[in-house]
Structure 1
Amino acid sequence: MAEWALDNLEKRLAELEDREAIRNVLDEFNDTADTKDMEAQGQLFREDAKVIQHLGETTHVLDGRRAITDAFGGYLATVELTYGRHETKPYS
């Protein structure tokens, strides 16, 4: 196989692996929201993560894992049903 073809194949494989890793994180995020396991959900974020929330005209910046965990946990405490286990992975 030509070197350019192998390079292209490696790039395509890396992209597919990246997409699967993103799906896995999204599934874990949804699962932890469904079970309201905020500490586990918080571990999905880097310690220095930032989340910017736009709520109508208001913007909130959640700065750091603890702030994100507390804010998401506060929201989830107000709702009974969350994501309903909408998984991004194919059914087996």
Structure 2
Amino acid sequence: MSMPNCAEFDRQTPEYRGAVLPRALPVLAIEAGVSGFWRAYTGFDGDVLGIDRFGESAPAAQVAAALGLTREAVCERARALVRGARSR
């Protein structure tokens, strides 16, 4: 899911928030900015794949690859989360 307005999401009822981000399912947040912020939404068993540094100069795809924010990295983190959830 996409969360363009966290403040609006936070104003929703606990039931709504729980339906959108069920605690029984692993949550992976992907962020090319301040990744620590998303821990509040991923929960203890979730994960965040993000870039927390700035100032790189190159085409976007090259920067993302150099910093580990690639399709392959996202897929591997998601697989690891699912494996971890299945083993509990």
TM-score normalised by length of structure 1? 0.25
Q: Which has the larger radius of gyration?
A: 1
**Greater fraction helix:** 1
Which structure's relative contact order is higher, taking Cα pairs within 8 Å and 6+ residues apart? 1
